[in-house]
Structure 1
Amino acid sequence: MIERILPDGVVAAELFDDPADVELFPEEEAHIAEAVDKRRREFTSGRHCARTALAKLGFPHVPVPPGERGSPIWPPGVVGSITHCAGYRAAAVSLDVLSVGIDAEPYLPLPPGVLDAISLREERVMLAALGGDLHWDRVLFSAKESVYKAWFPLARRWLNFEDALIRIDGDGAFAASLLVSGPSVDGRMLTGFAGRWTVAGGIIATSVTVPRDPG
């Protein structure tokens, strides 16, 4: 599912349930030693997806512990992202792009009050104009999550929901314009992101990649 919205050079692995025989590395286990069962299953299956995706790039099994603000610590030269929601876990990794962010959400409307908390007025106007019976509010939320996951490894600082303006296209694409100063990456200032979204099997998935400067 997630691979359909990722560009060439980014590989992924996904699960729709939790394997029972996955073992964690000690440095990963330390982060969830006191976690409840739900969190443990999400984390463990996410790391299994991460290692499966890394194997597609030729890497051996290695630990992928959480780092600053929970961002995964990948092997040198690798960028990637991990996501999970009820019934779905996935990871995407690459050696060819500067950053990647993925997110998965249940295909359900946001709880009452959440849209106002995570969106800008312009975005709410856009959602109303999109119409149809899709849960556009949840697509917006997921897009913002993917943007943050692509942003943080490059900027190393927080990005609030209101710090990026999302524009969603009905054809499966979205764009994010930064409303705060972005970092300099690959010799250029980062001013926004391009992403993709899809809905399948009761899951919304979004992705954002930051390509290298072709020049």
Structure 2
Amino acid sequence: MIEKILPSWVVSAEAFDDPPGVTLFPEEEAVIARAVDKRRREFTTARHCARQALRRIGLAPVPIVPGARGAPGWPDGVVGAITHCAGYRAAAVSREALSVGIDAEPHDALPDGVLGTVALAEEQDAMERLGPGIHWDRLLFSAKESVYKAWFPLTGRWLGFEEAHLDLSPSGTFTARFLVPGPVVDGRELTGFTGRWLVAEGLVVTAIALPGIAADPSPGAG
């Protein structure tokens, strides 16, 4: 599913349940040694997806251990992202991208009181003008999660919900404009990202892929 909103130079793997018999590396087991069952299943299947994706770009299985602020630690020369929610886990990796961000959420309204903490006033006004059939509040939340996941590897800094302004398009795309100084890439400060979204299987998924020099920026998200 998520491959539909990723460019050809980003490889993904996903799961809609938790397959039995998945083993973790000792370094990964140490991360979740005291985790509850739900967390253990999310973590384990997400690592399974990550290793499937890495295999598809020719890399052997390796531990994927969370680093600063929980960001997955990828092999040298690889960028990627992981997401999980009820009934879905996915990973996306690339050797050609500069950064990747993905997120998945249940396609349902945000819990009461959450929208005001994640959406700027202008974003809330814009959502009221969008058409029915999509939970735009949940989509906005997911898109901001993807923005952060693409932002952090480039900056090593936190990005708050209020520090990026998003425009959602019914066409399946979104744009993010940074309200704080952006990452500097190849001597140029980035002022925002573009991404894509999809609603299917009771889920909303969002993705951002920032192309490197060798990548073709035309297809998919970027």
Q: With structure 1 as the length reference, what TM-score do the two structures score?
A: 0.98
Q: Matched residue of 1:141: which SS?
A: helix
* 2:41 matches 1:41: yes
Mapping of 1:31-180 within 5 angstroms? 31-180=31-180
Matches of 1:5 and 1:59 in 2, distance apart?
Answer: 23
Q: Do the aligned partners of 2:103 and 2:205 also contact (CA within 8 Å) in 1?
A: yes
Q: Do the aligned partners of 1:109 and 1:138 also contact (CA within 8 Å) in 2?
A: yes
* 2:182 matches 1:182: yes
Q: Do the aligned partners of 2:166 and 2:175 also contact (CA within 8 Å) in 1?
A: yes
Matches of 1:15 and 1:8 in 2, distance apart?
Answer: 20
Q: What is the letter of the counterpart of residue 12 of structure 1?
A: S
Q: What is the letter of the counterpart of residue 37 of structure 1?
A: D
Matches of 2:204 and 2:18 in 1, distance apart?
Answer: 19
Q: What is the letter of the counterpart of residue 123 of structure 1?
A: E
Matches of 2:199 and 2:134 in 1, distance apart?
Answer: 9
Q: Matched residue of 2:97: which SS?
A: coil
Q: CA offsets, 1:117-148, max 9 Å, x none?
A: 10001100110010212100000000000000
The answer for the alignment partner of 2:25 in structure 1 is 25
Question: Cα offset for 1:155?
Answer: 0.6
Matches of 2:158 and 2:15 in 1, distance apart?
Answer: 29
Matches of 1:124 and 1:205 in 2, distance apart?
Answer: 20
Moved over 3 A (4+): none
Question: Cα offset for 1:190?
Answer: 1.4
Of residues 164-173 and 184-193 in structure 1, the stretch that sits farther from structure 2 once superposed is 184-193
Matches of 2:100 and 2:173 in 1, distance apart?
Answer: 15
Q: Do the aligned partners of 1:186 and 1:212 also contact (CA within 8 Å) in 2?
A: no
Q: CA offsets, 1:165-210, max 9 Å, x none?
A: 0000101000000000012112311110000000101010000111
Consecutive unaligned residues in structure 1, runs of 5 or more: none
Question: Cα offset for 1:44?
Answer: 0.2
Q: With structure 2 as the length reference, what TM-score do the two structures score?
A: 0.95
Aligned length in residues: 215
Q: Do the aligned partners of 2:184 and 2:190 also contact (CA within 8 Å) in 1?
A: yes
Matches of 1:42 and 1:190 in 2, distance apart?
Answer: 33
Q: CA offsets, 1:34-66, max 9 Å, x none?
A: 000000000000000000000000000111111
Q: Do the aligned partners of 1:186 and 1:213 also contact (CA within 8 Å) in 2?
A: no
Matches of 1:69 and 1:93 in 2, distance apart?
Answer: 19
Q: Do the aligned partners of 1:173 and 1:197 also contact (CA within 8 Å) in 2?
A: yes
Of residues 84-93 and 130-139 in structure 1, the stretch that sits farther from structure 2 once superposed is 130-139
Q: Matched residue of 1:124: which SS?
A: helix
